């Protein structure tokens, strides 16, 4: 089982995915992996989420599938049973933290404010997700947070695009970014998996991951 620290360094971009069907999930996951994306965040925003996680986790030996949009403690165990290797939450509560610990699911918790960050650090987290990143202040917010929290690393997610991702990745406290631009709605509707692979290949070469 990889740690969150290891997972976020497998590539500069973690795609945030919500699938309309399990079949769509399998096709998109395969297309992303073909483009060099090794880490997927499959969210629980649709009913296809858990089964899509299960299928994606068997596509390749080097693929790392996580569950996104953890908002309830029970999501942790459900996702782990489906094959998720890590979890991502938009926020953090003590119950979610404990549930992730209890089932052995490495967690990337969401934060938005200094108070959120302090709570996450009290629980022992050294890497967090800034969400929603653009709405929370984007680049300026991350630069400001580096002062009081110099040892903390971020995976900003929310509103980041292919054009803005390099600026985020250039920050010293950003280890990777999350984004949905790798799976545009038009490409998914047209089942244009080649376009997904092209976008994944471009995202994989955006910037080297930080140590």
What are the residue numbers of the active site? 41, 129
How far, in Å, CA of 158 to CA of 14, rounded?
Answer: 12
Label each residue of 153-178 as H, E or C. EECCECCCCCCCHHHHHCCCCECCEE
How far, in Å, CA of 199 to CA of 162, rounded?
Answer: 9
Cβ proximity of 9 and 177 under 8 Å: no
Cβ proximity of 31 and 54 under 8 Å: no
Q: What is the CA radius of gyration of the chain?
A: 16
CA atoms within 13 A of residue 56's CA, in its CB half-sphere? 38
């Amino acid at each position: 089982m990889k740690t969150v620290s290891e997972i976020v360094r497998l590539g500069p971009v973690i795609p945030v995915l919500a699938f309309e069907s399990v079949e769509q999930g399998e096709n998109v996951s395969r297309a992303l992996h073909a483009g060099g994306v090794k880490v997927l965040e499959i969210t629980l925003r649709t009913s296809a989420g858990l089964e899509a996680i299960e299928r994606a986790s068997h596509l390749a030996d080097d693929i790392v599938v996580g569950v996104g949009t953890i908002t309830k403690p029970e999501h942790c165990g459900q996702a782990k049973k489906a094959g998720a290797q890590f979890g991502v939450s938009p926020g953090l509560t003590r119950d979610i933290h404990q549930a992730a610990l209890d089932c052995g699911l490495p967690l990337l918790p969401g934060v938005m404010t200094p108070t959120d960050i302090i709570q996450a650090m009290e629980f022992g987290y050294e890497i967090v997700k800034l969400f929603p990143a653009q709405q929370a202040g984007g680049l300026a917010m991350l630069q400001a947070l580096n002062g009081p929290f110099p040892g903390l690393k971020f995976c900003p997610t929310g509103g980041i695009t292919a054009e803005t991702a390099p600026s985020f990745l250039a920050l010293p406290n950003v280890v990777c970014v999350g984004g949905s631009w790798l799976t545009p709605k038009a490409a998914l509707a047209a089942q244009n998996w080649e376009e997904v692979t092209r976008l994944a290949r471009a995202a994989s070469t955006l910037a080297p991951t930080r140590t």
